[in-house]
Amino acid sequence: MPALYLFNRRTLLAGDDLQLPSIAWGAGFAAELFIFLPYLLFYTIELTLTTSATPDANDDYFAEFDQQIQRMQTQECDNATSGYTDKTFCYLNLAYQAGMAIFCVVSLFYEQRILKLSTLGTPTRGLELRASLGTLIERKMTFLTALNFILLVFGLSSTLHFLSPYLYCFPKFFWIVVFILFVIQGLQCLFNITTLFSLWRASPST
């Protein structure tokens, strides 16, 4: 297959070489979207709905629901939220998770398009079908990487700022998932940024 050109630079890759990486990247985004984010969202919403009120045991309709919502009614959470009146971290976390969900959906769409285009044509025919492949990858490596980096900085800074008061409010596994998510984002950004830097150092094709 002919070499793939990115930013007017010739790479060592051809379209066929992108299929397995595209599947791997898509699997990573799918894990973030369907495993990590729902888990974090569950506990974030649970704390957001928690109040200092005592569940009304006389109200049969809402009693069981109240008991489920108030599971995070602990002394640690009370201290962290100033008596459940300050939910700033919850709102910041929800904003981060919403941004990550949008980013993952868009990234999955890009990976699906890259995978589909990389399978079109043959070594000698139908190469025009892959004409937009380079543009897709360029957008992925610029706009999507920039969005991912912004979300990483936003999520990491807000988490570090509120980590001390909220550390014992959420389960330990919650913070493990947060750490894994940040590591995955960091590796994604690092890979794309180093690739962009390598392309920038290469001489443009004439």
Q: What is the pLDDT of residues 150-174, one digit of tens each?
A: 999 999 999 999 999 999 889 899 9
Separation CA 127–CA 138 (nearest Å): 18
pLDDT band (50, 70, 90) for residue 69: low
**Cα distance from N-terminal residue to C-terminal residue, the chain:** 20
Q: Is the pLDDT of residue 180 over 90?
A: yes
The answer, as to whether pTM is greater than 0.75, is yes
Phi-psi region of 83 (alpha: psi -120 to 50; beta: other; left: phi over 0): left
Burial of 176 (0-12, 13-18, 19+ CB in 10 A): exposed
CA–CA separation, 161 and 100 (whole Å)? 19
Residue length, the chain? Answer: 206
- Give the mean pLDDT of 96-124: 88
Mean pLDDT of 57-71: 54
